[in-house]
Structure formats: C-alpha cells, structure tokens
Chains A and B, each alone.
Chain A
Amino acid sequence: ELKVEQNPLFLSMQEGKNYTIYCNYSTTSDRLYWYRQDPGKSLESLFVLLSNGAVKQEGRLMASLDTKARLSTLHITAAVHDLSATYFCAVARKIGNQFYFGTGTSLTVIP
C-alpha cells in the first residue's frame, strides 16, 4: 500500500521564523501536490510539482521535489500569522493515477 508521510504533524512557530515541512512517499510518482486547509474549510491548491528538481515559490512558501529520494519539502520563510493552517501533500501514483494524501501538518504561527 502506498504511504505518504508528513512531518512534523504539528508545528508551532513564531512569526518571522523559517521552517520546513517534509513529505515522504513510498511509490514511484511524477506528480506531487501541496494543499492548504483552514479550519472548517475545504482544500486550496498551492503547488503542483511535475519533475525531479522542480521548485515553485509563492510568497513566503516554496516547494521542491526530489523524485529519486521520494521527498518533497515545503519551506516557510519569515512566517506570518496568516499562514496558520493545515498543509497536505498528495501524490499521484505513476501507474494507475490514484491520489494519496499525507496525514497533514498543522501549522500555528504565534505573533
């Protein structure tokens, strides 16, 4: 069974600090997604990473993909309170196209 593991599961950080969320997966994949979910809300797409070495940045968030290591990272730069949310990575299996989500990382940015 495909596994998608994120760490940490919970992250509390002060405003202005940097941190990285990790996403490991256990199958061959050519597509890796990052989503944000606010409490009681639905999921919002952040990034789609399609190739080894892909890097995408939007504001204070930057995502990267290493398909050989089966690892993606979501780096947060100079965190602000508005980034408080749960972040999910999701992997599409290369053969079969099934989607699998990680367990999520609950981020709290403290003013």
Chain B
Amino acid sequence: EAGVAQSPRYKIIEKRQSVAFWCNPISGHATLYWYQQILGQGPKLLIQFQNNGVVDDSQLPKDRFSAERLKGVDSTLKIQPAKLEDSAVYLCASSSLAGKGETQYFGPGTRLLVL
C-alpha cells in the first residue's frame, strides 16, 4: 500500500513570497490533516478535512494560510505571504475514519525555510 505522498520535500523562499505544498493521501482515506512542526516542538494541527469539507481549521492563520481539498482526494496548503516564523516542517496525514480511534498515517513532510 502506497503511503502519504508530499511535495516538494524542501523549499527555500524569501519572506513575503508565496509557497504551496501538495499532499496525496492514502487511497480511500476520507480524512486529511495538515500539521505545522516547528523545530523542537510537537506538530500543531492547522486544518482537518473530511472528504472535501473542512472539519476544523481553528488553528489555521487564515490571513496568510489557505488550504483546499478539491474532489476529496489531493490537498494543497498555501502560504501567502510567508513570514520568517513560518519556517517549519509541514506534515500531511490521512486516516480512514475520523473520531473512531483511527490511526493517522503521516507523509515525509515538506521542510520550509523562509529567509
């Protein structure tokens, strides 16, 4: 079974530029999550999708971050404009069923450095 795919793996941009990350979850997984992991910290949930609907985005900085999951499969996370404090690893995870003790499977992450 193929795992969660993310691209790019690494990205370096200057502050105020825009950047987008892509995630392809495990086939058949209805729930998709985006996390931000700053160096030395635990992941912080940014947004959770159930199929193509948003379940929770309470910790997403909506003035600069946006995410979509068209057709309930792939998802993109965008930052516009980026700030220095956005430097982090952005992790995508998917699970088969939310709220029932499901296991989240994580992708390799995208490492973002904002200069």
Chain A residues positioned under 8 Å from B106 (CB to CB)? 42-44
For A41, give the chain B residue with the smallest CB separation: B108
Is B45's CB under 8 angstroms from A103's CB?
Answer: no
Contact-residue size bin, chain B (C-beta under 8 Å from the other chain):
20 to 34
Residues of chain A in range 66-111 having any CB-CB distance to chain B below 8 Å: 88, 90, 92, 96-104
Are the C-beta atoms of A98 and B107 separated by less than 8 Å?
no
- CB contacts (< 8 Å) of A28 on chain B: these are none
Closest CB-CB distance, B10 to chain A, in whole Å?
11
The answer, yes or no, to whether B104 is at the interface (CB within 8 Å) is yes
Given the known inter-chain contacts A50-B101, A103-B41, please indicate yes or no for A42 contacting B109, CB distance below 8 A.
yes
Which residues of chain B are within 8 angstroms of A103 by Cβ–Cβ distance? 41-42
| Pair B56/A96 contact, Cβ less than 8 Å | yes
Instruction: Judge whether A42 and B91 touch: CB under 8 Å.
Output: yes
Q: Which residues of A contact B42 (CB under 8 A)?
A: 4, 88, 90, 101-104
Which chain B residues lie closer than 8 Å to A43 at the CB level?
43, 91, 93, 106
Does A48 reach chain B (CB closer than 8 Å)? yes
Is the C-beta of B21 less than 8 angstroms from some C-beta in chain A? no
Residues of A within 8 A of B102 (CB): 48
Selected contact of A101 from candidates B44, B103, B105, B107, CB within 8 Å: B44
Given A88-B42, A97-B55, check contact A42 B98 (CB 8 Å). Answer: no
Report B44 CB to chain A, min CB distance, Å: 7
Distance of B30 from chain A, by nearest CB (Å): 13
Ordered nearest first, which 8 A-B pairs have the shortest CB separation? A101-B42, A42-B106, A43-B106, A50-B101, A45-B103, A99-B45, A101-B43, A42-B108
